[in-house]
Amino acid sequence: MNGCKMKKLKFVIVIAVLLVTSGCTGNMTGKDRTTQTESELNTQPEEALEENAETTRNRLKGLVLNEYPDLEITAEVLERKAILPGAVFPVNITVKNNGDRSIAYVRGSGSYEVPEALVIDAAGLQPILPVSHLGIATLDLRTEYLEPGEQLEYIWYVRAIEANDNFDQYTHDLYTEEQSYIGDLSWEELKDTFPDLIAAAPASYDIYVYFTYYILDTESENLFSETTGYAESIFSVSVSE
């Protein structure tokens, strides 16, 4: 075999190897891809945590903490059972107007059971979008009022997994494609469906809950109905082994 033919043969072999390698990569399963990007996934919780914190800071930017001191917000977990890694637990939230002035807050769509005025940052754990925020929302955007002596009560669910910046998209996809609420899935089912989700390590976690509002005041009317203040509640939960 002369030199020219040898060069052609080597070229064909190289191309064949490249094609086979490319084909193998393109046909990876989801778990294969997870293994391949394991180093990236290991850095994701920190990135997601910082992204969530940045989102919260942006929501509260320019607002005054306790602008109306008589607005009280409490958040707590009332269920008396251990929170295991991967489990879902409810956060019970109460907002009460203990003063003599009225406040207004943004509900958003009339179909929302939990208003846009409520903000939660689970600081390492994963809040779950309320089911009323999924699917098609009505377009009747609303501002509602909390009068003196009145109170509001909400439940917001949190999952004891590491914060993941893809979680909200997973929540929407499951609801849209399978009419399934991600908060109803067991940890085993969820992990099989989304292998990049990681159970939270046993530890104590601080959860921050905020309620944004503006004060209705005839003497200095808020002409543009802009949110100006917020109240906060901070508490801790323990994830057991």
Q: What tens digit of pLDDT does each residue of 65-98 get?
A: 999 999 999 999 998 889 999 999 999 999 999 9
HEC states along 55-124? HHHHHHCCCEECCCCCEEEEEECCCCCCECCCCEEEEEEEEEECCCCCEEEEEECCCCCCCCCEEEECEC
Which alpha helices (DSSP H) does the chain contain, by range? 3-26, 30-36, 38-60, 167-178, 187-193
- Residue 150 DSSP symbol: -
Distance of alpha carbon 225 from the chain centroid: 27
| Domain boundaries along the sequence of the chain | 1-36, 44-239
The reported pLDDT for the residue numbered 166 is: 96
What is the rounded distance in angstroms from the CA atom of residue 47 to the CA atom of residue 196? 14
Q: Which pLDDT does position 55 carry in this prediction?
A: 74
Structure confidence at residue 82 (pLDDT) = 94
The backbone torsions φ and ψ at residue 224, rounded to the nearest 5 degrees and listed phi first, read: -100, 5
* Residue ranges, the chain, pLDDT below 50: 1-44, 220-223
pLDDT value at position 30? Answer: 35
Distance CA 161, CA 51 (A): 16
- Given this model, what pLDDT does residue 52 score? 63
What is the separation, in whole angstroms, between the first and last Cα of the chain? 69
CA 131: distance to chain centroid? 12
Q: Which of 197, 109, 118 is nearest to 154 (CA)?
A: 118
Contact 124, 161 (CB under 8 A): no
Would you state the CATH architecture of domain 44-239?
Sandwich (2.60)
Q: What's the confidence (pLDDT) of residue 47?
A: 63
Check residue 56 and give its pLDDT.
79
Alpha-carbon gap, residue 110 to 192, rounded angstroms: 35
